[in-house]
Amino acid sequence: MKDGVNVYCLAYNHEKFIEKTLEGFVNQTVDFPYKVIVHDDASTDGTAKIIQKYASDYPDIIYPVFQKENQYSKGKEIYYEYIVPLLEYKYLAICEGDDYWTDNNKIKKQYDYMINNPDTVMTGHNTEKITVDGVSLGKLSCLEEDCDISTEMLIENTVACYFHTSSCMVIGDLKTNCPKELRIPGVGDLPLAINASLNGRIHYFNDTMSCYRTGVSGSWSERIKSSDETILKHCDALIGFYSRLDNYTDKKYTRLCMDKVIQYERQKMMMRNKFYELFTDKGLREVCKRMPLRERLRTYKWMLKKDIQKK
């Protein structure tokens, strides 16, 4: 693909937020080809109207895609079905319709770095977490200075410890052609970052250049937390991911991958089971055996306390 940057933005019922998102796009200072694809998934509020206004005012930047029926609810993979056919440029940036960019030089800073450091396949930066009403909850990243991020770091702490999706710029082929073994239904940031780290260098800027809005109704994170059933399904998906990653990398990261598998097995166990079942159920006994002793004792203590409180 040609040098330049594609941005894709997924929007659904983001009437309260989308204008700020679009302002962040059109105010970027760029000296290279730059195209923003905004996908509205049949919003029932005024989101589409706002997107259309910006598309009319900035036809060389904003390329809208409007759905008549909600595609997410039909199980469609929106990125692959509706975004990929419109991509033109080598680099890809991401920002959802309820998040926004706060630095007009964000895209240029990341693009220039990646052009000048061709071994770098992904960049991210610090992000401010805010409430639905815009109240600051502090910085997202656990890092304190510019640095590279390794595969080991991503497995051990997950990508959310370092940077948010709204901060990402990546070589687009790494998302479009992400191996099926590394995909997680409904999850984009972790597979993308892991795949990037296996194919080159990831660089982190400690500059805060975007805002991530938490607690938005209908968002992916809120849907995951909506019930025990969805949390357990998410745990199963992550257990499968880290098991496949272990095989995909020929056991190079076995210890780290198995630590994550145990972490999510433990979470499932603590949500679903009773204390006595840790000793009567063969599968749960095996999970406990794989835990470090301190973690095992903490689990016993927590589950015993939970059972006592229910009585």
237 and 156 in one domain?
no
* CATH at residue 33: 3.90.550.10
The CA distance from 196 to 309, in Å, is 45
Within a domain: residue 220? no
Within a domain: residue 221? no
205 and 246 in one domain?
no
The CA distance from 45 to 259, in Å, is 44
**pTM for the full predicted model:** 0.86
Here the tokens at position 79 are: 């990125």
What are the pLDDT digits (tens) for 85-102? 999 999 999 999 999 999
Task: Look at residue 273 in the predicted model and tell me its pLDDT.
Answer: 65
What are the pLDDT digits (tens) for 193-219? 999 999 999 999 999 999 999 877 655
Alpha-carbon torsion, ordered 38, 44, 47, 49, to 10 deg: 100
Cβ pair 249, 182 in contact under 8 A: no
Task: Look at residue 185 in the predicted model and tell me its pLDDT.
Answer: 79
Q: What's the start-to-end Cα distance of the chain, in Å? A: 63
What are the pLDDT digits (tens) for 99-129? 999 999 999 999 999 999 999 999 999 999 9
When divided into structural domains, the chain yields a total of 2
Nearest C-alpha neighbor of 24 from the set 33, 32, 34: 34
Within a domain: residue 153? yes
Range of the domain at 262: 227-310
The CA distance from 258 to 160, in Å, is 19
Here the tokens at position 7 are: 């941005």
Residues above pLDDT 90, as percent of the chain: 68
- Of 223-237, 256-270, 280-294, the range with the highest mean pLDDT is 256-270
What are the pLDDT digits (tens) for 146-185? 999 999 999 998 788 899 999 999 999 999 999 999 998 7
The CA distance from 189 to 178, in Å, is 12
